[in-house]
Structure 1
Amino acid sequence: MTTPQPGPAEPAAQNRPDEEAIKAAEEQLSLLWRRSRAASYQLARAVHPDLEPSAYGLLAILFNDGPMRLTDLAANIGVGKPSVSRQIAFLQDIGLVHKLDDPQDGRAQLIHLTEKGTHQVKQSQTARKQALDDRLAAWSPADVREFARLLRKFSENYYEN
C-alpha cells in the first residue's frame, strides 16, 4: 500500500510553522525593532544632538554607496524628495554633506559627504560594530553564521508575499 502524496494544489501544511512559533517570532522581532530604533536614535545623537535617525541613515547610504542625486537618495530609502531635501539641508547646515555639480549632467547635483561627515559616520559605524561584537562574543562562530543566514533569508523574503 502506497502513502498518498499531496497533490500540486494541496499545501504542505507540515512544512509551515505553527501559530505559536509565528507569535514568538513576531514578539522577538517587535522587541528587536524597538531596540533598533532606540539604537538608531543614539547613533544619530552621537553625530549631532539635533540629528534625526532618518538623516543618519542618509549619511550611512552616502558613506556606503558614494555621492548621489537627491532623487536617487529619496528612492533608495523609499520616501518623498521633499522630506529628503529638508534633511539634506540640515546636514549641509551642520557641515556633514555638500552638493557638487554632477559631471554627467550639469543640471543636476550630487550630494557628497564632507570630510567631517565621513569621519562621523566611520566613528558611529565603528561603535555600532563594537556593540554588536560585544553582544555576540559569547556565541559560537557557527551560531553567528546561522543567525546571519536566517536574517538574510528573512530579509530576502520579507516583501515577497
Structure 2
Amino acid sequence: MFVQDQTAIQLVSETARFIRNARAVSFEATKAGALNVPLSLVLEALLNHGSCRAAQVGEQIGFTPSVLSRHIAELEEHGLVERVADPDDARARIVTITEHGRKRLHESQQLRARRLIDRIGVWDEVQAAEAVQALGLLSDRLERGAADARPDDDAQPAGGS
C-alpha cells in the first residue's frame, strides 16, 4: 500500500514547516555563538568519516566544489580544520578536523540542542526519541530516493486510476 496523495501533500507541508522552525532554532544558536549550519555540516562529515579529500566531503553533504572550498577556507582560517598533502597524490590535499574544530562543533551542537529544548521543553524523552526515529526514517527514505521508486511511476500519474 502506498501513501495517498493528500497524505503526501500534508507530509511535504509539515516537512517545510519543520525546516522553517529548524532554521529559526539554528539561527538563534548561531546568534548565541554556534557555528553556522554549513560549517557544522563540514565538520560533522569530517568527524564521522575521518580525514579525506574535499571532494569526498562535498559528496557526503551535497555541497558544490566552489561552496565547499569557501567553507573549508573559512574553517581553516579559524583553525578548525587543516589541509595537508595527500601521501598518495602530492597534488591533492587531505582535510582534517582539528581538536579545536571538534571542540567548536561540540559547543555548537550543544547550543543548538539547548535552543531546541527551549522550544519543545514540554516533551519527555520518549516523545523526543520517537521524533528522532521518525525523522531518521524519513531522511533515510529521502536519501534512497528514486532508487526505490514504484515500478509503475512512469505508467500512471499519482492518484490516477
**In the alignment, is residue 26 of structure 1 matched against residue 12 of structure 2?**
yes
Cα distance, 1:43–1:100 mapped onto 2, change above 3 Å: farther
Q: Spell out the pairing of 1:82-161 with structure 2 (5 A cutoff).
A: 82-133=66-117, 138-158=122-142, 159-160=145-146, 161=149
Structure 2 match to 1:78: 62
Deviation at 1:115, TM superposition (A): 2.6
Ranges in structure 1 where 5+ consecutive residues have no aligned partner:
1-11
Deviation at 1:66, TM superposition (A): 2.2
Q: What CA distance in whole angstroms lies between the structure 1 residues aligned with 2:48 and 2:111? A: 16
Structure with more contact order per residue of length (Cα contacts < 8 Å, sep ≥ 6): 2
Ranges in structure 2 where 5+ consecutive residues have no aligned partner:
150-161
Is residue 43–residue 124 contact of structure 1 (8 Å, CA) maintained in 2? Answer: yes
Deviation at 1:58, TM superposition (A): 0.8
Is residue 99–residue 109 contact of structure 1 (8 Å, CA) maintained in 2? Answer: yes
Q: What CA distance in whole angstroms lies between the structure 1 residues aligned with 2:52 and 2:29? A: 23
Structure 1 match to 2:153: none
Cα distance, 1:116–1:138 mapped onto 2, change above 3 Å: same
2:3 to 12, 16, 20: 16
Q: What CA distance in whole angstroms lies between the structure 1 residues aligned with 2:73 and 2:102? A: 17
Q: What CA distance in whole angstroms lies between the structure 1 residues aligned with 2:46 and 2:30? A: 15
Cα distance, 1:16–1:121 mapped onto 2, change above 3 Å: closer
Residue-pair matches, total: 144
**In the alignment, is residue 65 of structure 1 matched against residue 52 of structure 2?**
no
CA distances 1:72-124 after superposition (whole Å, capped 9, x unpaired): 11111223222211221122122221112334444432111223222110111
Q: What CA distance in whole angstroms lies between the structure 2 residues aligned with 1:27 and 1:43? A: 25
Q: What CA distance in whole angstroms lies between the structure 2 residues aligned with 1:64 and 1:43? A: 22
RMSD (CA atoms): 2.8
Is residue 63–residue 113 contact of structure 1 (8 Å, CA) maintained in 2? Answer: yes
Q: What CA distance in whole angstroms lies between the structure 1 residues aligned with 2:117 and 2:34? A: 21
Q: For the pair shown, which has the larger CA radius of gyration, 1 or 2?
A: 1
Q: What CA distance in whole angstroms lies between the structure 2 residues aligned with 1:111 and 1:44? A: 24
Is residue 63–residue 121 contact of structure 1 (8 Å, CA) maintained in 2? Answer: no
Secondary structure, aligned partner of 1:110: strand
Deviation at 1:32, TM superposition (A): 0.8
Q: Percent identity?
A: 26
Cα distance, 1:43–1:133 mapped onto 2, change above 3 Å: closer
